[in-house]
Amino acid sequence: MNDELLGLAVIWLIGCTVVAWIASSQGRSPLAWFGISVLLSPLLGFLAVVLTPKPKEATPQVAAPPCPRCGTPRTKGQRHCTECGLDLWADYDAKRATR
């Protein structure tokens, strides 16, 4: 009886590990999917990993050009240069005012 129960537990944990490996290869948290498989069953965990939509990859942020005066890198939408204080939107504001 104990040997059968131990064998079942080993098979269960191997199945949970396989589900975690599949989840990891799809860019998901292997620890979370291992836990889900332990609680529900490796079969239900496998079906959930395979049938749920894959997470979308984050879209890369387009880097803004550096400050034209000092060359300091800047973030998108930044109004003033953090180093020299240049108004980075001055050209945009001037064009907008002449419309």
Distance, CA of 54 to CA of 85 (rounded, Å):
44
**Residue 72 is which amino acid?**
T
The domain segmentation of the chain, as residue ranges, is 2-51, 58-99
3-state secondary structure of 8: helix
Name the amino acid, one letter, at 55: P
H or E, element range at 25: helix 2-25
The string of pLDDT tens digits covering residues 8-54 is 999 999 999 999 999 999 889 999 999 999 999 999 999 999 998 87
Percent over 70 (pLDDT), the chain? 84
CA distance 15 to 18: 5
pLDDT of residue 92: 61
Can you tell me the distance from the alpha carbon of 16 to that of 11, in angstroms, rounded to the nearest whole number? 9
How confident is the model over 55-78, as a mean pLDDT? Answer: 76
